[in-house]
A and B are shown apart, each in its own frame.
Chain A
Amino acid sequence: MIEARSVTKILGDKAILSNVSIRIDAGIVALLGPNGAGKTTLMRLLTGIWKPTEGSVRIDGHDLLHDDVAAKRALGYQPEFPDLHPELRPRELLDFAAAARSVSSEDLAEAVDRFGVAPLLDAPVGSLSMGQKRLVTLVAATMHRPPVLLLDEPTNALDPHRVAALKDYLRSPDAPRAALISTHQLDFVRTVAERFILLAQGQVAGDGTLDELREQFGMPGASLEEIVLAKT
């Protein structure tokens, strides 16, 4: 569902990602790593917002460079910074996204209700808090029940009720078949993710379930936090 093959991204003369390959066929996977490891860059490459300097990305079997419309149809994405047009209203953004994705009004209403966004629909985006904007982007990312979901720091600025709503969604029948969550919130991903990809200095440092990581790194009984601290 999500596949990056030997992806390299060079900005200026600096390689942000070097020869990164990941493949997620199903399930929820967490992308972990320190600040500057290249997590957000990888997310941007997986969404087509940025193009890889080398390598290729496939989403739901579609090459993101050559068949981007089909790939994006299968994709839901919540960016790290929910910078929305401050002069627009959430309703306008969501109506547009719904029309572009052929989402019915019922499905849109369901996504709006799921994250409690209904009271915010007609407020100018500029007047919303960071957490409220993030909820709007969550609705935009999930309204079409995407088979592939990419979430970049999804819990930042969210209150515990909304974090619980997100967890419920990720465990519900509507959940995406494959999801990649980039985050520093280990408590959150420990409860929803079954596999962890560790990124360090633009390269994959580890990939597997918690038990597989313990085995890979020779750290029996180590917690996820201990592995992340030691290996990234």
Chain B
Amino acid sequence: MLAAALRYRRAAGLHRALRIWGAALVGYAVAIGLKVEVPLGRWGREWLASRPFDRAAVAGAILAAIALAVQAPLRHAMRRYGHEQIAVLPLTLRQRFAIDFTAVSLFLLPPHVALLGIAAAAAVVAPSTLGPPVSIIGLAGLAVAHDALQVALLDRPRRVDRAAVWLSFIASAFMLFRGGLIALALGYVLVGVTIGASRRAMALAEPYLVRSADEPRIANAARRESLASPALYETRWLLRGNARRIMGANATAVICIVAAELAIRNNGVIRFISTLRILFLFAALAAGAIAVEIVRARNASRPLRLVDAVLPLSAVRRLMSLLAATTAFLIAPAVAAIIMEPRAAVLVIAQLIAAAFFVVLLGEHRSLRTSRGTEGEMYGAAAALAIVGALSPFVALAVAALLVPLSLHLARTSHAHCDLPVDVPEGFA
């Protein structure tokens, strides 16, 4: 029975969770290759030397982040499909526990074995090499934690939500003033930044935009027109309807940028041109991750767009709203880039935005043309941009500049000649 249940669990969604470990393995390999390593030893000594209260606070924050990182995707994967079928089976509590415990153990075991195997094969099993995997998991933990926080908190503003938002800011300020543990502080700052750019901020701001509660609320529509611009509308429904997807991509992008900085630092890269190469490489990958998710989100929502499709908005205005939404989602990686490498920030952000725009518009255009997924092409375009960036940053900038008119052309062509898919695309039902 257990074997059958495990097979069912896997078929009913657990295998989707394995993708997380696939990503972790790739991240680990990249980390080893680039010597991406967080100075965990120094942080550990700082932590041991701190006061008991500080020690407990930091340990609690990290544990909570890691727990959230594993729990949220796993629960999502296990409950996504077929959960009701298991729930209605006449199983005892013990049997249910055995099924779930074994399933989760099987989920956790392979990647650990794989990580150890990779480390042993590389003959670098030493305390210092434990840094990369732990760092990757820690950063992913922070990223997914803030994603989970947003998804959990948004839409229903309550006192406890506001308290959590403020606590994250206070914690980040506290960590910054304490010095040390920079990555942890950065994690908290990113929590604040992303929350600030999200629907949460919109939900918090909304009451202040309505001046008087005594007037009929609809009469205040004119005062809130700034909220109703196409760009904000686009951003808003992308965040409301696809927050997990967008924020997950954003977290991936932040990790890319952080990994770039760690690669620069740990490899002792000092030449500006070499620094730019590494940053461009990761920036293009980050842009690709965000762009793919934006196009996926838009594809998933197209059947819902019949009403706004007939509004009198020009191709350029619609394009601008899409690009503004894309820019909004690039805030977190851009902030990370500025913090990490102020000298190269402007160039990196230019590359990031140009690449994201191009990839978004390519995907938008192709999916409108063919009404099917174009992720392979989008990843290919992002990878090509990354390679160009790694080979020559200045050629990459020139390419990015050329992509702007090409993107505009793609957008205009799509608008003028493509049908809006109004039936649910395959895979998005």
User: Which residues of A are in contact with B by a Cβ distance under 8 Å?
Assistant: 44, 47-51, 65, 68-73, 75, 77, 79, 81-88, 91-101, 104-106, 108-109, 112, 118, 121-122, 124, 137, 140
Contacts and interface: CB of A to CB of B under 8 A. Distances in A.
A7 to B, nearest CB: 14
A104 to B, nearest CB: 7
Contacts of A75: 310, 312
Nearest to B417: A51
Nearest to A110: B218
B379 interface: no
A95 B225 contact: yes
Given A96-B233, A122-B217, 4 more contacts: A50-B419, A81-B306, A95-B228, A101-B312
Contacts of B416: 51, 65
A96 B228 contact: yes
16 contacts: A69-B314, A75-B312, A77-B310, A85-B240, A86-B304, A91-B221, A92-B233, A95-B227, A96-B229, A99-B228, A101-B311, A105-B220, A105-B222, A108-B221, A121-B218, A137-B307
A150 to B, nearest CB: 9
Nearest to B313: A100
Interface of B: 155, 216-222, 224-225, 227-230, 233, 236-237, 240-241, 301, 303-304, 306-314, 416-420, 422
A19 B225 CA distance: 43
A92 B240 CA distance: 12
Contacts of A93: 307-308
Contacts of A48: 309-310
Contacts of B228: 92, 95-96, 98-100
Nearest to A70: B312
A108 B222 CA distance: 10
A96 B306 contact: no
Contacts of B314: 68-69
B240 A140 contact: no
B219 A105 contact: yes
- Interface majority SS on A: helix, strand, loop or mixed? helix
B313 A105 contact: no
A86 B241 contact: yes
A72 B240 contact: no
B311 A108 contact: no
Given A49-B420, A50-B420, A72-B311, A105 B240 contact: no
A118 B218 contact: yes
Residue of B227, B228, B314, B417 contacting most chain A CB atoms (<10 Å): B228
A71 B312 CA distance: 8
Contacts of B306: 49, 77, 79, 81, 83
Contacts of A71: 312
Contact of A49 (B240, B304, B310): B310
B312 A69 contact: yes
A90 B236 CA distance: 13
Given A69-B312, A86-B241, A109 B307 contact: no
B209 to A, nearest CB: 11
Contacts of A97: 307-308, 311
A92 B229 CA distance: 10
B15 to A, nearest CB: 28
Nearest to B222: A105
A104 B310 contact: no
Contacts of B417: 51
